[in-house]
Amino acid sequence: MKQQTSDPQTVRVFEELASSRRSIRGFLPQAVEPAILEQIFVTAASAPSNCNTQPWYCHVVSGEMRDRLSAIFTKTIAQGKYSLDFPYDAKYEGVFRKRQLDVGILLYEALGVTREDKEGKRRAFLRNLEFFDAPHVVFIFMPEWGGVREACDVGMYVQNLMLTIRSHGLASCPQTILGYDADSVRRELNIEPQMKLLFGVSFGYEAPDLPENQIVPERAALDEHVQFHS
Ligand SMILES: Cc1cc2nc3c(=O)[nH]c(=O)nc-3n(C[C@H](O)[C@H](O)[C@H](O)COP(=O)(O)O)c2cc1C
C-alpha cells in the first residue's frame, strides 16, 4: 500500500487495532496454525531499527517445551531463584508509582482478590508462569553488545509483533517476569550465552468472558505526555 493521503477507513482500522490490543491474562489451549504463526513473525520484522541492525531474536516455544519451561519456572522464579540478564531495580515514585498501584488494584478487583488476600495475590502472580494458559510464548533476546538504543529497537519490534498478533484475531501478554530465569531458558533452548533475554510474550486465542481480560488500564491525558512546539 503506497498511501499518500489520509484515508478515514485506514485510520479507523488502525485505531481499532491499536486500541483493541490489551494485555490478556487468560487464553484458550487451542494452538495457532503454523502458517499463521510464521506469517506473524514475517510481518513483525517490518519494524524499524537503528541502521537497520534488527537486533531482535525470538524463540517461539509451544507444546512439550512450553510445558517444560513452565514447570521449571515453578521451581526457580516461583521460589525466588532468579537469573536476570537485565536487572529490574527501578523504584517507581510519584505518578509512576500511582500508575503501577492502580493497574494492580484493577487486576485484583477483577479477580476478586482483596487487599489482605495474600494467597489470591500469589495465585495471580503464578498465572504468569503458566503463561496464562497460552499455547505459545515467545522469548525475546538481543545480543550482549546491545545497549539502550538496541533495547528501543526491540521494543518497537515487539509492539509490531503484538499488533500483528492482534490483527490475526489473537491476543498477547508481554511479561517481564518471563525474563527472570534467563539461564534455564538458554539451557533448555540451547541458546548461546551471548544472547540476552529481555522478556517473554504469551500469545494465542483469548479465553472469552474472563473478568481479568475485561480490564482497560487508563492512559494519562495527552497534555501530561505530549507538548506541541512551533
Ligand atoms: C515490557 C512489559 C512487561 C510486562 N510484564 C508484565 C508481567 O510480567 N505480567 C503481567 O501480568 N503484565 C505485564 N505487562 C503488562 C502491563 O501491565 C500492561 O501493558 C499495562 O498495564 C497496560 O495495559 P494494556 O497492555 O492492557 O494496555 C508488561 C508490559 C510490558 C510492556
Residue whose cell numbers read 490489551: 22
Instruction: Tell me which residue of 116, 134, 95 sits closest to 218, measured CA to CA.
Output: 95
The pLDDT, as a whole number, for residue 24 is: 98
Q: How confident is the model at residue 77 (pLDDT cuts 50, 70, 90)?
A: very high
Q: Ligand 1: distance of its center to the CA of 4 in Å?
A: 34
What is residue 1's predicted lDDT score, i.e. its pLDDT? 63
The CA 216 to ligand 1 mean position distance, Å, reads 12
**pLDDT, average across residues 83-106:** 95
Mutate to test the pocket of ligand 1, among 173, 198, 212 (most ligand atoms within 8 A of CB): 173
pLDDT tier for residue 38 given thresholds of 50, 70 and 90? very high
Distance (Å) from CA 190 to ligand 1 centroid: 27
What are 14-27's pLDDT values in tens digits?
999 999 999 999 99
Following CA atoms 78, 81, 87, 91 in sequence, which dihedral angle do they give, to the nearest 10 degrees?
60
**What is the chain's Cα-based Rg?**
18
* Residues whose CB is less than 8 angstroms from the CB of residue 125 and which lie 6 or more positions away in sequence, other chains included: 177
Average pLDDT of the residues in 126-152: 98
Q: Could you state, in order of their start, the residue ranges of all structural domains in the chain?
A: 24-88+129-215
Q: 171-175 and 57-62 as β-strands: parallel, antiparallel, unpaired?
A: unpaired
Mean pLDDT (whole number) for 137-154: 98
Is the pTM higher than 0.95? The answer reads yes
CATH of region 24-88+129-215: 3.40.109.10
Binned at pLDDT 50, 70 and 90, residue 90 comes out as confident
Q: Angle, to 10 degrees, between the axis of helix 63-75 and the axis of helix 182-189?
A: 150
- Kindly tell me if the per-residue pLDDT of 3 is higher than 80: no
Q: What is the mean pLDDT of residues 80-86?
A: 98
Contact 179 CB / ligand 1 (< 6 Å): no
